[in-house]
Amino acid sequence: MAEISHSTKKLIQQYLLWNKSLQSKEDAPTIHVDEVASTMAAFYEKIRGVVDWREEHLLRKTAIERILKRRLFFKKNGEQIAALFVQELIRGGHFPNDTVPENQIQDIQRTIDKYIFILENSPIPPRTKQKSQLHSWILGIAACEIEEILSSPIKENALIDYMTDAMQARIKVQEGLFVIGGLKETTKRTQIYIAVQRALFRLDPPIISYHLLKKKFSDWSILSLPDLQEQEIAQRIYAIWTNITKELNHPLSHKFYKVCERYDTPYLLFGDILTEDPLKAQQKISQPETLENLIKESYNKRAKTLKSRISRAAVYATISIFLTNMLVLYALEIPFTLFVMGQPFGWISRLISVLGPTLLMFFLIFTIKLPKKENLQMVIMETMKIVYQNKREDVYEIKVPPKRGIILKTIITFFYFLCFCLSYGLILWALQQFQVPIITQATSLVFISLIAFAGIKLREKSKELQIIETKEGFFHFMGDLFSIPIVQIGKRLSCWWTKNNALALLFVSLIDMPFQLFVEFLEQWRYFLKEKREEIH
């Protein structure tokens, strides 16, 4: 019988606590919404999910943030909006009906009041653009806290801390001879904590920022308005935001992420094993043979669903870009070509404009490969290492790259710019062979870049279970030379796209607000009819 490590026993206790929290209190009254209105709202949310595409696990948080912004827009002081806010979330299918306790409405209202106070009393940033960014960041943090109230991520946070502690002991930063000062231990711990969240659960910056905020202020979730005034949180919020942004964009963050992303599979699988049966988990995993079988079962389950998840994510991303591409085609490309340029807009140009990026996405999906069979044995071995007590810990080394001189930096930048010009030059040359209008050439470059970036993200997702390093040959190197510039542009455009999605803005202004008012009216009308029906009897 192998000895289970102390950190593993601690993790099991957290999963037992999570399991206990699932036992609903029968006497506690819960929030109920009308089923007909809920069906309509849930269908609408599905459509929104296509238009305003996000990762599946971020959809609920995104919906909370969107609804919060809309309701605060109409009711600036936020007075007593929590009840309607929660009802809308339940109607949209983000939480099951009759499961959210009514007493959580008060907690959510206090949270909304807290963030409104911070918004109203925060200092004005030195730059005008930063004001909207800070405002959006604060509301993003508020959405994370509200989601935590409605669905506490006990086991997810426990697994994050478990992996962070393990990586803290294993990761060594090799800083070379010419590094002055060195990396502080607290900075290393923070970067590992950020990297683990990105690798393990693909958490986005607002959620990670919220977790960092709670690390800096241990009582953040229970702070009252007098506490905020006493600690001058609102006055310090700009400085807090600036510091957290710097931590998220640390120069070595991608290196920490690379290590954590490679070794996150054992933690994911062990988390699945504990989730399956937390009550008997310690007894089962005390036998290495039993643990090995459990690892295989969990691995096969994840491998089975991985391909379908990737395909579903690809379809949502493609449809989102396809719809926007159609909007751009008929709202911008065709009118500009016909009325400004005075040129015809043929069907070949239309097909290239719409189908080109879509076919590229399907090609990227088709070439995705799942991990090889020998990967499973490596996963089993690594999982055993983290679960049981070991005298020797593995070391994952991170090397700090030396600073490049001005001459070398100039040469590298020149070659990168050359690859950039060649990549986009070849695409433009191909489009010109089909006599595609200039405006369509420009939009095609934009959409190809976005699709290339989305394809790379999907390829990363396909490596969720991969722990064996893939060897990169000559063709891979040549592909990187011409694809990386396109992907980098796609990444920048994707960040802008998330903030300025044209279809999403159209939905909010023309459809979202009127539709939600209609759904609320429908629900109240049905309640009214029920009351009148009861009066008859």
In the block, which residue shows the tokens 């593995």?
394
Rg (CA), the chain: 26
Domains of the chain, by residue range, sit at 31-275+514-522, 307-388+402-499
Q: Of all residues in the chain, what percent carry a pLDDT higher than 90?
A: 32
Q: What is the mean pLDDT of residues 419-441?
A: 88
Q: Please report the pLDDT score of residue 177 as a whole number.
A: 42
- For 338-367, b/e burial (b = at least 16 CB within 10 A) is eeeeeeebeeebbebbbebbbebbeebbee
Name the phi and psi angles at 249, rounded to 5.
-110, 30
Cα–Cα distance measured from residue 89 to residue 70, given in angstroms and rounded to the nearest whole number: 13
Q: Of all residues in the chain, what percent carry a pLDDT higher than 70?
A: 83
pLDDT in tens, 489-499: 988 887 776 66
Burial class (CB within 10 angstroms; exposed 0-12, middle 13-18, buried 19+) of 149: middle
Q: What is the mean pLDDT of residues 213-217?
A: 92
Label residue 52 by pLDDT band (50, 70, 90).
low
Q: Please report the pLDDT score of residue 473 as a whole number.
A: 67
DSSP string, 280-318: THHHHHTSHHHHHHHHHHHHHHHHHHHHHHHHHHHHHHH
Q: Please report the pLDDT score of residue 32 as a whole number.
A: 83
Q: What is the mean pLDDT of residues 106-135?
A: 87
Q: What is the mean pLDDT of residues 124-134?
A: 81
Residue 133's SS3 state is helix
pLDDT of residue 275 exceeding 80, the answer is: yes
Q: Please report the pLDDT score of residue 402 as a whole number.
A: 73
Q: Please report the pLDDT score of residue 178 as a whole number.
A: 41
In the block, which residue shows the tokens 């709670």?
214
Q: What is the mean pLDDT of residues 36-48?
A: 68
Cα–Cα distance measured from residue 414 to residue 436, given in angstroms and rounded to the nearest whole number: 30
Cα–Cα distance measured from residue 451 to residue 497, given in angstroms and rounded to the nearest whole number: 12
Torsion angle in degrees (nearest 10) through CA of 164, 166, 168, 171: -120
Q: Please report the pLDDT score of residue 501 as a whole number.
A: 53
> What are the structure tokens assigned to 171, written together?
């990761």
Average pLDDT value for the chain: 83
Q: Please report the pLDDT score of residue 464 as a whole number.
A: 84
Q: What is the mean pLDDT of residues 123-151?
A: 89
pLDDT of residue 506 exceeding 80, the answer is: no
262: amino acid identity, one letter = R
Cα–Cα distance measured from residue 163 to residue 159, given in angstroms and rounded to the nearest whole number: 6
Lowest mean pLDDT among 25-29, 70-74, 303-307, 503-507: 503-507
CB-CB contact of 387 with 270 (8 Å): yes
> What are the structure tokens assigned to 12, written together?
């099991």
The full 3-state SS of 140-206, as one line of letters, equals: HHHHHHHHHHHCCCHHHHHHHHHHHHHHHHHEEEECCCCCCCCCCHHHHHHHHHHHHHHHHHCCCHH
Label residue 39 by pLDDT band (50, 70, 90).
confident
Q: Is the pTM of this model over 0.75?
A: yes
Q: What is the mean pLDDT of residues 321-336?
A: 80
